[in-house]
Structure 1
Amino acid sequence: MLDRETQLKALMLKGLDGDARAWRVLLSDLAAHLRPFFKRRLFHGESDAEDLVQETLIAIHGKRATWDRGQPFTAWAFTIARHKLIDHLRRQGRRLTEPLDDAAELIADHTVEDGAARRDLSRVLSILPARQRALIHDVKVQGLSMAEAAERHGYSVAAAKVSIHRSFKTLTGRFADGTKGAGHEDG
């Protein structure tokens, strides 16, 4: 079975080549993935989610010629969706924040958000020293136990827990209030 990226990219390519049926199927499939994407991120208002789905589909249609055929389609499409969501929240005077402890959810297998989420997570974690970044990746992304990750990186279990806690504190301080240059601690 093909994954969603492969299916959606194939539909996009056919649509760009003039296949109207493929284009309709692509927009319909995207709408089905965008609805839960927006609903999970909005405070209240399913009608807002539906409006954002439509705005995103219109933007994808209007910007389709800018997509690089050699790049992942879903990362491009969900970047547009994220921008629509951010614009919507700004109009309402709200900031979107999600706890960093749930970072593993950002890169769940086989979602249409994979490419963009992985890139965003890598960018966020890049402010940490390599050793802390690797420890967080192993525990929160790969799903290793704290003991396995601690052993792999030369930490005691207690030191690994402290390091992860400090890393999240650093990341939260850096991204929760929009400041730049949070300090690095290696435990």
Structure 2
Amino acid sequence: MSSSPEHFREFVSLLTSHQSALRGFIVSLLPGLPGASDVLQDVNVILWEKRAAFEIGSNFRAWAFKIARYETLNYRRRLQRDGVEMLNPELIDLMAAEYERRPELTERRLEALQHCLEGLQPQHRELIEGRYMSASSLVDYAARVGRSAGGLRVALHRLRASLRKCVESKLVVAESRV
């Protein structure tokens, strides 16, 4: 436990360098749900409050991810109490374990996905964001945008397939550069 200027600088450096990994981890535990930014903010507050307890040289990533996991689970419980449908907790645990086991691959996939999303036509990106960044069901979303649920399901299936192909090709290109 230390509160020296060196500890402070190192902690801030670790905290800032892990932001995208923490965000990706949180998003992976909240598939299709809003709130990743709120959970990340809560995690950052907790990490900051507990900074004196962190021992420089120990595994910051494991420590931060454990806190992120608990905060994400708390957030999911709050949503569940409000009636939002959730994925099976065992599936979430498996996803978290995979992310923790192979974070570099997950980060590369998230970067590739972000690039691919940016390449979509605006109406397609809006459909993806509107559907997956909202807590509403597909039927609710379809009613809100004035389209049929079946039509949206087909469009989303095609967009996911296109995004998957784009991500895979970006990863292949990235692998060939290594």
TM-score range, shorter chain: 0.3 to 0.5
TM-score by length of 1: 0.41
Structure 2-normalised TM-score? 0.43
Larger relative contact order, structure 1 or 2 (CA cutoff 8 Å, min sep 6): 2
